[in-house]
Amino acid sequence: MNYQFDFAAVLAHGDLLLEGALLTLTLTAIGTLFGVGIGILGAVVRAWKLKPFDRLFGVYVELIRNTPFLVQLFFIFFGLPSLGVRLSALEAAALAMVINLGAYSTEIIRAGILAIPHGQIEAASALALSRFETFRHVVLRPALVKVWPALSSQIVIVMLGSAVCSQISTEELTFAANFIQSRNFRAFETYLLTTLVYLAMAILIRQLLAWFGRSVVEARR
């Protein structure tokens, strides 16, 4: 093999990779905050069959879970302008990630809620806990503890899936890698380093979520 490795040509554009990685993490944070929020709402509505919203959330979940994320992204960025709704590439990417994670987290959290024994809810009522206190301490928190590993994995999956946002020119990590490779033609080195950055971000997010689960979700049960 006569290939001469040249990582310096890629590292010369390290600032672009860093900016792309930071934007990927920012999109992931936005997607997590609002996506999990939608998931909690949807899980409660579906688990407790609050009509007519349970059917609406059911359609939403099935639609998102059974269509490709890339198609959802294209629909938001290219399709909505036909209806007069124009979003920047960054706004479209963030919205797509929120909607996508919201659907998956709805089902993940719903599974946790359905796993809570009904007797615990009755016991909370007998102890004169308000409906909000019952929901917060007896339903939601134990449910999140049960599904936290699965929810954490889904957040990482959405972060990795954000790579397709480069298709609408969102300047995240993959967009930066494509730009660098188009300038130095060092595809192997560029995408190897990009892969390592994604790996590092995935591990970082998993560790942060594991810490949050231990320190906040479980500790205050």
pLDDT digits (tens, 9 = 90+) for 54-70: 999 999 999 999 999 99
CATH number of 7-217: 1.10.3720.10
Residue with tokens 């990417």: 93
Per domain, the residue ranges of the chain are 7-217
Contact 178, 187 (CB under 8 A): no
Nearest to 156 by CA among 28, 70, 13: 28
Name the band, by pLDDT with cuts 50, 70 and 90, for residue 88: very high
Helix axes 14-47, 89-114, angle to 10 degrees: 40
pLDDT digit string, tens, across residues 165-209 = 999 999 999 999 999 999 999 999 999 999 999 999 999 999 999
Give the H/E segment covering residue 132. Answer: helix 131-133
**Beta-strand (E) ranges in the chain?**
none
pLDDT level of residue 137 (50, 70, 90 thresholds):
low
pTM value is 0.91
Give me the amino acid identity at 194.
T
